[in-house]
């Protein structure tokens, strides 16, 4: 059963007198306890999708249409009071840079404690005990001592662990990890990703992992959705996608892991660029007339495998 479901989401940005659409009617769903990887190049709309789920978009962004269901309730129709009960408690966000999410004026413990007391019936010493146990579970050494540490006194990896501890202490059901290892060195990246996967499986949380790293999603996620220029172009179970990619963009992405790389011409389109038909057609070696005239829909090409391409038979 889908715990989180996005239907026909369209997001636009107001720039000067213009409205520029960044997300073009995407559909995504995550089942209970499932992990979904959302991959694609920088600027394709992955983070905007995540921020839409929590209604944390920038002031100049607007959701023009769509529905976002959590436990069958539309987040986009919730009032601010109901939304506060979802954010941080039911759905937690691990950002790219935890320093931007942690207040430098308060200790790590104080900030997680505030979340626990806001979202649960526990207060005082009992709430503090929950926080320290969460810090221990995310493998922060000397957790009771680190409870009193300020963000600048911790490394990037430890700050990211503290953010994960906040999600744990509030018993979140969905964990959105938006490029959670971008600001970390390679060794720490592996540790954080392993920790996220371990905690997700242990607590049966649903995970939306946003990344451009294909190796990461292969080792972490049950399913993968590939995003290009604000649209989902392919979605499939992880092993199926890697063994049988059906969209030319997916094929090009996966070829970066091999010695037989597919070099795409041009660059991803800017949000201001108008392209008729399929957004990928200027870079596609399989482009035909219909690709420049119509936008392909996401259709089934196998068991839980969907693509948006008019020429999938030529590509397979």
Domain ranges of the chain: 2-221, 248-315
Distance CA 217, CA 225 (A): 10
For 296, half-sphere exposure in the C-beta direction (CA atoms, 13 angstrom radius) is 25
With CA atoms as reference, report the closest residue to 30 among 10, 55, 14, 53.
53
Q: Which pLDDT value is given to residue 316?
A: 59
Give the pLDDT confidence of 178-192 residue by residue, as tens digits. Answer: 998 887 888 888 898
- Mean pLDDT per 10-residue run, the chain (316 residues)? 92 91 96 96 93 94 96 94 90 83 92 90 92 94 95 92 91 92 84 91 94 90 96 97 95 91 90 92 93 94 92 71
Cα 209 from Cα 223, distance rounded (Å):
10
3-state secondary structure 206-246: EEEEEECCHHHHHHHCCEEEEEECCEEEEEEEHHHHHHCCC
The closest alpha carbon to 154, from 107, 115, 121, belongs to: 107
Q: Are 295 and 314 in contact (CB under 8 A)?
A: no
Q: What is the pLDDT of residues 19-50, one digit of tens each?
A: 999 999 999 999 999 999 999 998 899 999 99
Which CATH number is 2-221 given?
3.40.50.300
For residue 153, what are the β-bridge partners?
Answer: none
Q: Would you list the DSSP string of the chain?
A: -EEEEEEEEEEEEEETTEEEEEEEEEEEEEETT-EEEEE--TTSSHHHHHHHHTT---TTEEEEEEEEEETTEEGGG--HHHHHHHBTTTEEEE-S-GGGTS-TTS-HHHHHHHHHHHHSS--HHHHHHHHHHHHHHTT-SSHHHHTT--GGGS-HHHHHHHHHHHHHHTT-SEEEEESTTTTS-HHHHHHHHHHHHHHHHHTT-EEEEEES-HHHHHHH-SEEEEEETTEEEEEEEHHHHHHS--SHHHHHHHHTTSSSPPPPPS-PPPTT---SS-TTGGG-TT--GGGGTSPPP-EEEETTEEE--TTHHHH-
């Amino acid at each position: 059963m889908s715990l989180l479901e996005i239907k026909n989401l369209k997001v636009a940005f107001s720039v000067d007198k213009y409205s520029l659409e960044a997300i073009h009617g995407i559909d995504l769903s995550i089942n209970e306890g499932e992990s979904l990887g959302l991959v694609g190049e920088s600027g394709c709309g992955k983070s905007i999708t995540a921020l839409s789920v929590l209604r944390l978009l920038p002031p100049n962004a607007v959701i023009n249409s769509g529905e976002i269901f959590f436990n069958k309730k539309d987040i986009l129709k919730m009032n601010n009071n109901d939304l506060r009960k979802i954010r941080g408690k039911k759905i937690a966000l691990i950002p790219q840079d935890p320093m931007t999410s942690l207040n430098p004026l308060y200790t790590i413990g104080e900030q997680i404690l505030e979340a626990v007391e806001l979202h649960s019936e526990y207060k005082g010493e009992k709430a503090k005990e929950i926080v320290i146990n969460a810090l221990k579970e995310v493998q922060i050494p000397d957790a009771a001592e680190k409870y009193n540490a300020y963000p600048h006194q911790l490394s990037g990896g430890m700050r990211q662990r503290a953010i994960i501890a906040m999600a744990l202490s509030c018993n979140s059901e969905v964990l959105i990890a938006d490029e959670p290892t971008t600001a970390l060195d390679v060794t720490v990246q592996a540790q954080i990703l392993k920790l996220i996967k371990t905690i997700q499986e242990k607590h049966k949380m649903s995970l939306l992992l946003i990344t451009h790293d294909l190796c990461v999603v292969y080792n972490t996620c049950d399913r993968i959705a590939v995003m290009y220029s604000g649209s989902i172009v392919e979605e499939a179970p992880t092993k199926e996608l890697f063994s049988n990619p059906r969209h030319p963009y997916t094929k090009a992405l996966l070829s970066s892991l091999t010695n037989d790389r597919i070099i795409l011409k041009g660059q991803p389109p800017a949000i201001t660029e108008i392209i008729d038909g399929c957004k990928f057609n200027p870079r596609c070696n399989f482009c035909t007339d219909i690709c420049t005239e119509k936008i392909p829909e996401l259709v089934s090409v196998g068991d839980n495998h969907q693509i948006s391409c008019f020429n999938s038979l030529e590509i397979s």
